[in-house]
Amino acid sequence: MRSKRRQWTAALLWTVATSGSGCAGVQSALDPAGPQAARINDLWWLMLWTCAGVFAIVISALVAALRRGRAQPAEDAETERKMTKVVAAGVAVTTVILFAFMISDFVTGRALWSLASPDAIIIKVTGHQWWWDFEYQDPIPSHRVRTANEIHIPVGRPVKLEMTSSDVIHSFWVPNLHGKTDLLTGHQTVTWLQADRPGKYRGQCAEYCGHQHAHMAFVVIAEPVGQFNAWFDNERHPAITAANAGQQRGQQIFMSRTCMMCHQIRGTDAGGRSAPELTHLASRESIAAGTLANTRDNLKGWIVDSQRFKPGNKMPSHDLGDEDLNALLDYLESLK
Amino acid sequence: MSHRESTLDVSHLPGYAFGHRSLMWWGTLGMMVIEGTMFAMLIGSYLYLRGRVPSWPPGAKPPDLFYGVLNTIVLAASVLPNIWYKRAAERLDLKTVQIGLLVSIVFAIAFIVIRVYEFRALNVHWTTNAYGSVVWTLLGMHTTHLITDFIDTVVLTALMFTDKIEGKGFVDVSENAFYWYFVVIAWLPIFAAIYLLPRWI
Amino acid sequence: MKDRELLQLEETWAEPRGFIGWFKCVHHTSIGRRFVITAFIFFLLGGIEAVLMRIQLARPENTFLGPDLYNQIFTMHGTTMMFLFAVPMMEALGVYLVPLMVGARNIAFPRLNAFGYYIYLLGGIFLYVMFFTGTGPDNGWFSYVPLAGPEYGPGKRADVWAQLITFTELSALVVAVSLIVTVFKLRAPGMSLNRIPLFVWAIVVTAFMIVFAMPTVALGSTCLILDRLVGTHFFNPAEGGDVLLWQHLFWFFGHPEVYIIFIPATGIISAILPTFCRRKIFGYTPLVLSLVATGFIAFGLWVHHMFTTGLPRIAQSFFTAASMMIAIPTGAQIFCWIATIWGTRPRLRPPMLFVLGFFFNFLIGGLTGVMLASVSLDQQVHDTFFVVAHLHYVLIGGSVFPLFAGFYYWFPKMAGRMPGDRLGHWNFWLMLIGFNLTFFPMHQLGLKGMPRRVYAYLPGMGWGGLNLLATLGGVIMTAGVALFLINVFLSLRTGEVAGENPWDAATLEWATSSPPPPFNFDSLPIVAGRDALWDMREGHSGSAAPAVVTGVRGDLREVLVTTVLDAEPDHKTLMPDPSIWPFLSAVATSGLFIGSIFTPWAVPVGAVPVTIALIAWFWPTRKEHLERIEAEQDHGRTPAPPAEPVTQGQA
């Protein structure tokens, strides 16, 4: 009776836990958009079904063991011998399954590293508390493109990420595309990525890095080659000159306050590198490392009191009059 | 249990025993394994840090050999009175034990004093770099063992000069010598790590 | 045994009374009981921390706990559960049960054992005082650098954590040594190594693992404090140090640590199954070999916690292989246990229910462990809620459920009363359902992208539903634990009085009253097989083999020391008297440890009271001296000449 109840409980748990959530998702390992996540996903399902089978068999054996026999069994040598054979067979089957898993892992591992190619895009990633610094590499230094918290990649082309951290350990993880790799202080780690279909794939820091670890996200936008080239060309250009009085005033405010000490805007005097690069801020989807949508209101709130959204983060609050604040926002919104 | 069951009479067994028959021996061995593991991990960390830089030692000369070698000789020599009084303890020879312990104390003072000079001859400070940190920690941990073994020995010596002499006391003396061997033998790989590795690797 | 002899034993072994007397107790049952209760209190504290986290995560961007407090709480939860509950609880059970199971009157090195308890208690109090005054550690239970280093971890929080490690590892080490020596040297005659109960084997393997693993984390935490306090550079990449060195040092300890927590639980299973199935355990030898193999292999897995750090792939492959391989001895154990149950129709009382709960939950945890052993898959789910699910399935499923089984099983022995059955059933079902509802959804959460150690998550992520479910499960599980507490309370007051052996079990702890007297056994038993009491019962009629030991003095705290392999009587020794010095030494040592997170001078200055206390501990009183002389010169013997083999049995 009790064993039946336990089986029912198990079934209920499975159903409840897996119902209504599905596999698809904007940050889901079960919704692969690239070859590596796809291989890992395949391995996952193989292991899941096998393990579920093992689970079912062992629990069935346990249930059978509980229900058979009488209260005082005979412990004769014959039964013990049979039991020994069964146990030995169980150990043997376990070993075989583990070997199969091991081989599957090695084969998958090789595939994961097989993206290496000389025509890859190389991006240098530097982790900071609590944002992502990206720099598209190029042999010519002036062709390098620095941006923050959002990268675009062309569909179907491998991307090599050379990563390090400027402070504590972080971890770069965009589950739709690949497993994670840590960003270590004093080391360089390397990983490869590729997207096989266009889309926006969210990533998040996956190594506890202090107060705002929970709000250190980024997005990888995979797009067809034409679109990517257009984006990249735009990124390469320095900031658009301020067009009207409001924007100019805003730029002046930016350059005369502490903003320029931390934030770089290429083409201006603002060359600080300890905060996200802002040259094309207005073209980004989100601000504060994926925490807030990139809207005027959110930007205003962030400048005035970023601690409200991300307590403990390193951006100071700024006390600006309404006019100045609007001018500054005009300027920032012009940075397309 | 009925008192009319057959019994195993152990009343004739001795009230103490030496070597691995005693509980103290096993406790001392446990201590050696624990400390030994710690030293092994520290030496492992030393080698790990070595692998991270192109040249070794980084930013410093290797430690001067003189005091290190001198102390190694003194430590090795201290084993002799140890063996002597350990055997005396197992013979329950109080006089020899007392003299042996006193001689050991003299040796202990000698190598602690020389150890001070060793620190000064390391040619690096613990705040200089990771190499300095690991070398000072290695030498420092071993020095802690020298000091605690010295204090142990002094206390035991004092006890052996009181009128509270008993078989268990002799077992403790024997175990003290046993632990002393460990402190000396553990020194050898540490000596190699601090003084020889910077010259070899 | 005549009543006169019993009265003498009672007088000789009486535990000191009164307030001061409480601090002088050194008998293993007194210390063991305190150990168990203290560890359980920390379990409850850790549980409260878990509930707080679950409330915060129940919905997106919740404002119940801010980041600073949340980060401290998840650190305190992990630190409390791993260092102040799990390992101490297993050692506590060992301290209470092992001397009884091997037929000894006390644990080896009783004062050292007491010291181990006080150091643990004081360390735990220290941690919580610091937490309640705003200096709780907040870098996770494994405190990675550089986050915990001098540059990014200002204040004393990381130092508090590092020093707690020192407290708990010192405690674990001294208790481990006491347990090993007890099992090696104090067993009842006839209890050769191949006859010791499996629980004792599990404790021995665990103790050895502690001896080899704990010094590494002690070294690591020392290096961390040195970096933070006096300017060393072990983990500073700018000066030749390495952030990964911390991870290696920590996980070299950290992986064996989880097996230190799991292996004693397997011992509990192996103790309970024969009793409730009314047959001897199936596969004693394979089970022992599995324990030893697991203990060894556990030291070769640690890099699987570092699969995402960019280590050379060939190294990673080795650790994948080893991490999968360890499932083989574990699987062997599970199959042997099922074989034990086969055809026996066990009584499904609370201990057995929790054992079945263990099977169900631990199996899930073990299988996800095999998944995590794969580097490729691990790279997706490492540091996500998938791992949180896995670790709770193996730790709660694999250790807490067996612990509860053990609580119900040994409650009569420790408390003298039977635990309530009906409440026990409710306790079990609420814990089983609550536990699975809490943690099963987390597998999905991890796969859907939710990382660990996040105090909040955005609404659009689609994680809200599963998180809410997990929180509800947490509430149910809490109710289950609460029922356990109520059951304990009620059973202590009105439970059925327990006899010596209410479960009709086979091991020696059931051969004495419940609870045992301070001298453990009226007569020292002799053992002739693996299932001591069952063998005695069966072989009692007509057997001429001796059943009890005589000749060990009852007027002094004398015990019999036997040989390591065959437990043949070798010599006798006196156990130390109760003493205040283990407690005072622990206080002095705590002063040194706590002071040293504020200034390095605390070490030489603090060493003075420690040295004084230790000398006072060791220095024999006149009474002790006279007793030893008398015991050694018993029956007119002068001290035995050295290096002569004992006439009875070999060393």
C chain contacts of residue A213, beta-carbon cutoff 8 Å: 451, 453-454
pLDDT of residue C539: 62
Residues 6+ apart with CB under 8 A from B55: none
Query: Tens digits of per-residue pLDDT, C516-529?
Result: 999 999 999 999 99
Residues 6+ apart with CB under 8 A from C114: C25, C26, C31, C582, C583
B20-200 maps to CATH 3.90.960.10: no
pLDDT of residue A54: 97
C619: region left, alpha or beta (phi > 0 left; psi from -120 to 50 alpha): beta
Find the mean pLDDT for residues A121-140.
97
pLDDT of residue B164: 83
Query: Tens digits of per-residue pLDDT, A228-243?
Result: 999 999 999 999 888 8
What is the ipTM score, two decimals?
0.95
What are A33's two structure tokens? 């958009």
pLDDT of residue A69: 77
Q: Report the candidate in C272, C249, C252 with the shortest Cα–Cα distance to residue C401.
A: C272
Pick the CATH number of A245-333 from 2.60.40.420, 3.40.50.300, 2.60.40.10, 3.40.50.20: 2.60.40.420
For B92, the closest of C1, C611, C639 (CB atoms) is C639
Which region among A63-72, A139-148, B68-77, B85-94 has the lowest average model confidence (pLDDT)?
A: A63-72
Q: Cβ separation of B10 and C551 shorter than 8 Å?
A: yes
Size of interface B-C (CB pairs under 8 A): 224
* B34 to chain C: closest CA residue: C211
| pLDDT of A85 over the 80 cut | yes
- Main-chain phi, psi angles of A264, to 5 degrees: -90, 135
What are A27's two structure tokens? 């940050």
The domains of chain B are located at 20-200
Residue C520 in 3-state DSSP? coil
Which region among A68-82, B19-33, C291-305, C376-390 has the lowest average model confidence (pLDDT)?
A: A68-82
Give CA–CA dist C91/C264, Å, rounded: 9
- Main-chain phi, psi angles of C212, to 5 degrees: -90, -25
Q: Which amino acid is at A271?
A: G
pLDDT of residue C358: 98
Decide if C79 contacts C58 (C-beta within 8 A): no
pLDDT of residue A329: 96
pLDDT band, residue A14 (cuts 50/70/90): low
H or E segment and range at residue A127: strand A121-128
Residue identified by tokens 């996956």 is A206
Query: Tens digits of per-residue pLDDT, A261-275?
Result: 999 999 999 999 999
Find the mean pLDDT for residues C611-625.
95
Decide if A241 contacts C96 (C-beta within 8 A): no
Find the mean pLDDT for residues B114-137.
97
Q: Cβ separation of C451 and A206 shorter than 8 Å?
A: yes
Give CA–CA dist C450/C445, Å, rounded: 6
Fold agreement between A121-236 and A245-333 = yes
Decide if A246 contacts A255 (C-beta within 8 A): no
Give CA–CA dist B175/B164, Å, rounded: 18
For C226, the closest of B90, B137, B166 (CB atoms) is B137
Give CA–CA dist A14/A9, Å, rounded: 9
For B16, the closest of C526, C573, C643 (CB atoms) is C573
pLDDT of residue C428: 98
Over pLDDT 90: what percentage of chain A?
85
pLDDT of residue A9: 53
pLDDT band, residue A24 (cuts 50/70/90): confident
* Whole-number Cα distances in Å, B43 to A320, B118, B142, C242, C375: 58, 18, 12, 15, 29
Paired with C417 in beta bridges are: C497
Decide if A313 contacts A290 (C-beta within 8 A): no
B17 in contact with C, Cβ within 8 Å: yes
Q: Cβ separation of C331 and A94 shorter than 8 Å?
A: yes
A10 in contact with C, Cβ within 8 Å: yes
A chain contacts of residue C374, beta-carbon cutoff 8 Å: 43, 47, 101-102, 104-105, 108
Give CA–CA dist C584/C417, Å, rounded: 34
Residues 6+ apart with CB under 8 A from C329: C289, C290, C291, C293, C294, C297
Q: Cβ separation of B11 and C635 shorter than 8 Å?
A: yes
**Which subunits sit against C, judged by 3+ Cβ pairs under 8 A?**
A, B
Q: Report the candidate in C185, C573, C188 with the shortest Cα–Cα distance to residue B14.
A: C573
Residues 6+ apart with CB under 8 A from C538: none
Q: Cβ separation of C632 and B136 shorter than 8 Å?
A: no
| pLDDT of C226 over the 60 cut | yes
C chain contacts of residue A106, beta-carbon cutoff 8 Å: 317, 320
| pLDDT of C636 over the 50 cut | no
| pLDDT of C407 over the 50 cut | yes
Higher-scoring residue by pLDDT: C630, C406:
C406
Decide if C111 contacts C579 (C-beta within 8 A): yes
Helix axes C313-325, C350-373, angle to 10 degrees: 160
Residues 6+ apart with CB under 8 A from C646: B13, B14, B17, C570, C571
Interface of C with B in 611-630 (CB under 8 A): 611, 615, 618-620, 622, 625, 628-629
B179 in contact with C, Cβ within 8 Å: no
The domains of chain A are located at 35-112, 121-236, 245-333
| pLDDT of C288 over the 90 cut | yes
B chain contacts of residue C248, beta-carbon cutoff 8 Å: 48
Decide if B100 contacts B85 (C-beta within 8 A): yes
Q: Which of C2, C5, C234 to mutate to test the interface with B (most CBs of B within 10 A)?
A: C234
| pLDDT of A222 over the 80 cut | yes
Give CA–CA dist A287/C634, Å, rounded: 85
Interface of B with C in 115-154 (CB under 8 A): 126-134, 136-137, 151
C chain contacts of residue A200, beta-carbon cutoff 8 Å: none
CA torsion through residues C520, C525, C528, C533, sign: negative
Query: Tens digits of per-residue pLDDT, C438-450?
Result: 999 999 999 999 9
Burial readout A10-38 (b: 16 or more C-beta within 10 A, e: otherwise): beebeeebeeebeeebbbbbbbbbbbbbb
Give DSSP secondary structure letters for C146-203: TTTSTTTS-TTHHHHHHHHHHHHHHHHHHHHHHHHHHHHH-PPTT--GGGS-HHHHHH
pLDDT band, residue C531 (cuts 50/70/90): very high
Q: Which of C102, C174, C233 to mutate to test the interface with B (most CBs of B within 10 A)?
A: C233
Tell how strand A121-128 and strand A159-165 pair up. parallel
* Whole-number Cα distances in Å, B152 to B81, B177, B180, C34, C622: 16, 11, 10, 31, 20
A121-236 maps to CATH 3.40.30.10: no
| pLDDT of A213 over the 90 cut | yes
| pLDDT of A1 over the 50 cut | no
Give CA–CA dist C116/A44, Å, rounded: 45
A63 in contact with C, Cβ within 8 Å: no
| pLDDT of C651 over the 60 cut | no
The gap between the terminal CA atoms of chain B, to the nearest Å, is 68
pLDDT of residue C637: 43
Find the mean pLDDT for residues B125-140.
97
* C552 to chain B: closest CA residue: B11
pLDDT of residue A71: 58
